[in-house]
Amino acid sequence: MTQRTDEPAIRAEGLTKRFGDKQALAGVDLEAAPGTVLGVLGPNGAGKTTTVRVLSTLLRADSGHAWVAGHDVREDPEGARRNLGLSGQYAAVDEKLTGRENLYLVGRLYGMGRHAARRRAGQLLDGFDLKDAADRRSGTYSGGMRRRLDLAGALVARPSVVVLDEPTTGLDPRGRADTWTSIQELVAAGTTVLLTTQYLEEADQLADTIAVIEGGRVIARGTAAQLKARVGGERLSLTVPAAHQRAPAAEILDALGPHVPALDARTGRFTVATDHGAASLEYALGCLRQLDIEVRDVALAPPTLDDVFLTLTGRPRTAGEGAVAPPMEGAR
Ligand SMILES: Nc1ncnc2c1ncn2[C@@H]1O[C@H](COP(=O)(O)OP(=O)(O)OP(=O)(O)O)[C@@H](O)[C@H]1O
Ligand SMILES: [Mg+2]
């Protein structure tokens, strides 16, 4: 669009924001190249929504700078808004209006003519699988349908930059997969996307680069592969159903190498990092069999972003933060 190709589509430098005595942002730096997805990953209260509100000109930072498509959000909020579509954490749809009316209204607010606004609403209703419900009051929509309508609303004016605050929180696996597909299509069409998420696998799936944020700071950044590389070898995991067999099993796993096995006491699931992959697995299973220890669900997998988070922060991402279950296959 009006943007030079060598400049980032989204840039933030040293953003800070304090609410009373709460330092919500303590110096956030971000950058997304045009046509890429930047995943901002963090637990509850990390500062994701605050960052999104600053970028979308809804909130003024105490200090620092941010640009959207080259427009300074403080100096030229109009320019920033013209290039930006926002879908908030809580779907902002007018429940009294139908889905079609909601989208039509957004188009008109963006200055589209009646005909163009109507056509665009129709396209988006098709694209987001809302055709059948298009002329029903959106107050009757399910949570997933509302999220889709809200996401569609962010795209009405074909912005070059789209900011999505937790676009899949609260969706079922089908709704989440559909949203992922929509985001991938957007990016394939050249749009730059910043998405926030608490789901490590979502960032892993969608994001070209990831910024891990906690306590209002970026504590790590890079590609999913780079972040994974920081935590080293594969993860061996297995479940020991019988509680009395867990202590001897722990000893065997501990003896595999320098890494300390972790045990989920509720499920009996052990996880341990291993530097020798399949060989460690075979050895461990041999020892466990010798002691007649029953094991289930044996797995060997590359480190996940969950492991990365644990390594970076020294604790699981859900500890004490109102745990949110991982969205798809469940805990690894
Ligand atoms: N308007 C506000 N007034 C007071 N405190 C606020 C306000 N907005 C955010 N905060 C605080 O700032 C911190 C960051 O909040 P933010 O909403 O950015 O987190 P988040 O990463 O979006 O979390 P979540 O995953 O729960 O949406 C939190 O401690 C929050 O309580
Ligand atoms: Mg939030």
Per the DSSP assignment, residues forming a β-bridge with 264 are: 269
Q: How many CB atoms neighbour CB 197 within 10 A?
A: 25
What is the predicted pLDDT for the residue at 326? 37
CB atoms within 10 A of CB 326: 18
Closest CA to 305 of 9, 40, 10: 40
Tell me if 44 CB under 6 Å of ligand 1. Answer: yes
Closest ligand relative to 214 C-alpha: 1
Query: Rounded CA gap, 24 and 49, in Å?
Result: 10
Contact 122, 190 (CB under 8 A): no
Backbone dihedral angles phi then psi of residue 171, each to the nearest 5 degrees: -90, 150
Closest ligand 1 atom, residue 50 Cα: 18
Which pair of structure tokens corresponds to residue 228? 């994974």
> Separation of 215 CA from ligand 1 center, angstroms?
10
- The answer to whether the beta carbons of residues 96 and 109 sit under 8 Å apart is no
Identify which of 17, 19, 59 to mutate to test ligand 1's pocket (most ligand atoms within 8 A of the CB): 19
Domain annotation for the chain: domains and CATH numbers:
10-93+141-228 (3.40.50.300), 233-302 (3.30.70.920)
Q: What is the pLDDT along the chain (332 residues), one digit of tens a residue?
A: 454 556 899 999 999 999 999 999 999 999 999 999 999 998 889 999 999 999 999 999 999 999 999 999 999 999 999 999 998 777 678 899 999 999 999 999 888 999 999 999 999 999 888 999 999 999 999 888 888 899 999 999 999 999 999 998 888 888 888 889 889 999 999 999 999 998 888 998 999 999 999 999 999 999 988 887 777 678 999 999 999 999 999 999 999 988 889 999 999 999 998 888 899 999 999 999 999 999 999 999 988 777 777 777 766 554 334 333 333 333 33
Nearest ligand 1 atom to the CA of 43 is 25
Is 24 near ligand 1, meaning CB less than 6 Å away? yes
pLDDT, residue 47, reads 96
Question: In the beta sheet, which residues pair with residue 218?
Answer: 213
Amino acid at 8: P
Distance CA 73, CA 88 (A): 18
How many Å lie between the centroid of ligand 1 and the Cα of residue 49?
7
pLDDT at 56: 93
